[in-house]
Structure 1
Amino acid sequence: MALPFFARGSAAKASPPPPFSPPTTANNRANNNRPNVNKGSLFQTTPPAPPSLTSARIGKSRNTDPAFEPKPYASSLETIYTPHPNVTIEPVKTAHIPSLMRITGLLLPVRYPNSFYTATITDSIVASISRVAIYHDHPVTDITATTFPTTAKAPSLSSSDKVIGGIRCRLEPLPPPSELSVSCPLRQATNLYIQTLHLLSSYRGRGIAASLLDSLIYDSASPPGTPMRAVSGIVRHYNIQTVTAHVHETNEEALLWYLARGFTIQGGVVEGYYRRLKPGGAKIVSLKLAWEEDDEDTKPGSLNDAGCKDDEGDEDWEKVELDECDPTATEKLEEYDTVNGEEYVRKRMKSA
């Protein structure tokens, strides 16, 4: 249910966004056969399908694997500064819910149940991968001194502070790479699927939407534009390897936004993804996260992250020790020690 970020003009007509697991795709329809579609919402979410309409398309986008139970992210969630001096990115709080519901309803033609919003507080996993953008009535950071997000203590929410956008994601299990399926069976790789991502039109073009996304996948101290940005603790904890979203097939602005941030567009169109739009196809955008190889804390297979690649190395070391403990190996070792001792005595006598 990837939600387009921006809605403009008549928000009520904005098109809704869709979920991750790609259903069957078809070739792009000819451009001259595509009627105009309101692109008010740059990023859209997929409306929940009624039980009677639930299909393979919808089912694949939701996790139904009972074995997939990631451990909640236990570290504290940080408040992040944005390029806008009055805006911060914060974890969702109870006080944010009413405003979050209002702007989601304003920007997206989708009506989510209350549980969709309350889960950002009550569900520890959903809460860890959900954020809101808060506008404060006074500057909370010096824009001239902040060229990239930095952490800060969350400003208290006053009556004049308001929610201007948000992001809500879902974790989906990925099949393990064949080369790791045996050596590291307990380390489940995941996809971060963007369900909703939206921002009020008057705040767009300020780097706020990008900050919402970056707050989940990149380390707050890693500057944007760095070829190999350090991934966040959330990415390391959940072993997130990819980030995906659905975008309406004619929403060129949203597609360009994702492309500018390293996403690629998968071939083909998911036909009929948006049931209320004509055309109703969606394109899938995907980002493969590059974990820095020289950073032990961000390596997918490091001890701090997976706890399994290093263990494998330890097992190899122990096997070598066991091989050296057989009688033959012991005899060779004793001979080696004796030779070294005699050589040492001779050298001492000569030097004397």
Structure 2
Amino acid sequence: MVQSSLTAWLKGPAIATQSSRIEGREQKRPQDVPTPPSSSDEKDGPGESIKVPPVIQQSCIQTESLRTSRPTLPPNVHFRACTREDLRPLKRLNSLLLPIPYPESFYREIFEDSLTNNITLLAIWHDDPCTVGQEKGRLIGAIRCRLFAHSVQDPALHSSAPDGKPMLYLSTLVLLSPYRSYGVAAEMLRLLTVRAIEQYGIGSVGAHVWEANAEGLEWYAKRGFRVVGREEDYYRRLKPSGVVVVRREVRVGDLLGG
């Protein structure tokens, strides 16, 4: 994972009202590389293990706009935008699950750039689903994306990509291991994919995956991503240091919940 940042941006068409900034040509590489759910055991702190969450089935009326009725999800989880109050728990979550720390600019951009905030999503867990909207809940997962213009100089990401359409690039995707059997990560990806199709007209979704992350590669493959390239020496602090580039084109099923 390279800690350099993208410093050049393209002013794209005014596709969305909150921001029209779409990333263009990159000087080096994306500073944030996604790490999908891994099989490692996380810790809340020194000597404190994360407990398996109890799933409580209760008949509560769900009112949040980002609630979903998809059958794979328990009523304990809901999704919302990231706020400044989420900064500390988000940093902590990423430090638990990602192999390399991220600079302050990575987090600051979420609040300072409206487009980045719009394509960042948090997963919040409530032991009692009836407290959704009443209690804070527990941060269990997060996805942060970028929007790349078609002109971004990454042949692997954009080979055979739909002409002229931006790409939703998955910068980071994290989820605590006890919650990985509920379809939470897949739902976060689905929600942002639908939003990016409707608001930014994306034609594809792409990511870099650490070559040693077999579970992550399998996770992407099951969701229709295909390998479109490889890059050596991407993670300078990790061994092995290479990444696998994955991508999939958007489809009608994305808007239909498929």
Q: Do these two structures clear the TM 0.5 threshold for a shared fold by scoring above it? A: yes
Amino acid at match of 1:204: R
In the alignment, the residues of structure 2 paired with residue 116 and residue 157 of structure 1 have an alpha-carbon distance, to the nearest angstrom, of 28
Give the aligned residue type for 1:235. I
Give the distance between the partners of 1:138 and 1:173, measured in 2 at CA: 42
Mark the CA change 1:157 to 1:92 in structure 2 (over 3 Å): closer, same or farther: farther
Correspondent of 2:225 among 245, 263, 280: 263
2:251 maps to amino acid: A
Contact 2:3 2:102 in 1 (8 A): yes
Whether contact under 8 Å (1:89, 1:215) holds in the other structure is no
Q: What percent identity do the matched residue pairs reach?
A: 36
Partner in structure 2 of residue 55 of structure 1: none
Asked whether 1:272 is paired with 2:233, we answer: yes
Whichever residue aligns with residue 170 of structure 1, its letter is R
Q: Distance in 1 between the 2:252 and 2:7 partners?
A: 25
2:203 is matched with 241
Q: Counting helix residues as a fraction of each chain, which structure ranks higher?
A: 1
| Equivalent residue runs for 1:245-324 within 5 Å | 245-267=207-229, 269-291=230-252
1:203 and 2:179 equivalent?
A: yes
Is the contact made by 2:168 and 2:196 (CA closer than 8 Å) also made in structure 1? no
Native 8 Å contact 1:266 1:285 kept in 2: yes
Aligned residue runs from structure 1 range 58-97, under 5 A: 62=6, 64-68=8-12, 70-74=14-18, 78-81=65-68, 83-97=73-87
- Kindly indicate whether the alpha-carbon contact (under 8 Å) linking 1:86 and 1:136 is maintained by their aligned counterparts in 2: yes
C-alpha displacement of 1:253: 1.1
Cα distance 1:246–1:271, how it changes in 2: closer, same or farther (>3 A)? same
Cα RMSD for the two superposed structures: 2.8
- Structure 2 length-normalised TM: 0.68
| Contact 1:84/1:207, CA 8 A, preserved across alignment | no
Distance 2:13 2:139 in 1: 31
Structure number, greater radius of gyration = 1
Calculate the TM-score normalised by the size of structure 1. 0.51
Q: 1:248 to 1:70 in 2, by over 3 A?
A: farther
Residues 73 and 234, structure 1, Cα contact 8 Å, conserved in 2: no
Structure 2 gaps of 5+ residues are 20-63, 152-162
Residue 67 and residue 73 in structure 1: after superposition, are their counterparts in 2 closer, same or farther (change >3 A)?
Answer: closer
Distance, in Å, in 1 between the alignment partners of 2:144 and 2:17 is: 15
Deviations 1:135-172 (A, max 9, x none): 1131259xxxxxxxxxxxx72443xx111110000011
Letter aligned with residue 12 of structure 2 = F
Amino acid in the other structure paired with 1:271: E
Q: Partner residue of 1:174? A: 150
Aligned length: 197
- Greater strand fraction, Structure 1 or Structure 2: 2
Please say if 1:48 is aligned against 2:7: no
Kept in 2, the 8 Å contact 1:47–1:111? The answer is no
| Counterpart residue number, 1:308 | none
Q: CA deviation at 1:69?
A: 6.4
Partner of 1:120: 110
Query: 1:216 & 1:171 partners in 2: Cα distance?
Result: 11
* Deviation, structure 1 residue 263: 0.7
